[in-house]
Amino acid sequence: MSLLQDQVAIVTGSGRGIGAATAKLFAQYGAKVVVTDIDPEPANAVVEEIKAAGGDAIAVVCDVTKDDDIKSLIAKAVEAFGAIDILVNNAGYTWDGLIHKMSDEQWDAIIAVHLTAPFKIIRAAIPYMREVAKAEIAEKGAAKARKIINVSSTTGTRGNIGQANYASGKAGIIGLTKTLAKEWGAFNIQVNAIAFGYIETRLTQSRDLGEKTEREGQEITLGMPDKVRDLVNTTIPMGRSGTTDEAAGPMLFFASPLSNYVSGQVLEIAGGM
């Protein structure tokens, strides 16, 4: 299980859901993982699970919309493991509303977490990805492969009622992915995006569960109405939602040497939709 042996991976939003499954899978395949979440408890729990299985990981509390937190995340990753080889921009949440009812606050918050934050994290990682690769090329004639994986959504590729802000952020991250693949290809950095469909997470659970989060001073109820959940399942050829473990598999592909000549791509993981 050494596909990612000694690779250092940052996975944002990895205290829960797809991010947690990805962090654990990367560790299983030999990566040293920086588990980062806005909440310390779930991040620490994932690290404990990784270590119990014989892996190596640290937890870093990070609100990806805050510049100081981004700087701290990059600094702590390098301090702990000495490098950054894989960067997964996964953190995010939804704050839905029809466009004629959507506030500037809703729009700005979702664009900030799904588009501006990945841009700033990538920019903060430049000294440890692009510049290190540049030095390797000067010294050895070639750089080792490094990976950036940006998480998009089928809402970004197709649109979705009530999610103008989320759709725009997730469409924007595709543009960032394709541009960065062209800019950093010469440094042997592969940049790809995964557009997830209906994966069972806090964002797609039944809203009747009443789980809430607080962002920008607002209490936001997470999940989807049951009738919407039922309708979505009828549109999926496989007839069901995906699991977080099934979502993590494509992440492993894009993080591994198996994708060393794959860059600038958007892979939809949506059960055949």
Structural contact between residues 136 and 143, judged by C-beta atoms closer than 8 angstroms: yes
Structural contact between residues 170 and 214, judged by C-beta atoms closer than 8 angstroms: no
d(CA 251, CA 261): 15
Q: Out of 29, 93, 128, 166, which one is annotated catalytic?
A: 166
- Three-class SS string for 221-266? ECCECHHHHHHHHHHCCCCCCECHHHHHHHHHHHHCHHHCCCCCCE
Structural contact between residues 25 and 248, judged by C-beta atoms closer than 8 angstroms: yes
d(CA 90, CA 92): 6
Biggest CA–CA distance in the chain, Å, is 59
Angle between helices 17-28 and 244-255 in degrees, nearest 10 = 50
Tell me if residue 128 is catalytic.
no
- Three-class SS string for 125-192? CHHHCHHHHHHHHHHHCCCCCEEEEEEEEHHHHHCCCCEHHHHHHHHHHHHHHHHHHHHHHHHCEEEE
Q: H or E stretch including 198?
A: none
Q: What residues are annotated to the active site?
A: 166
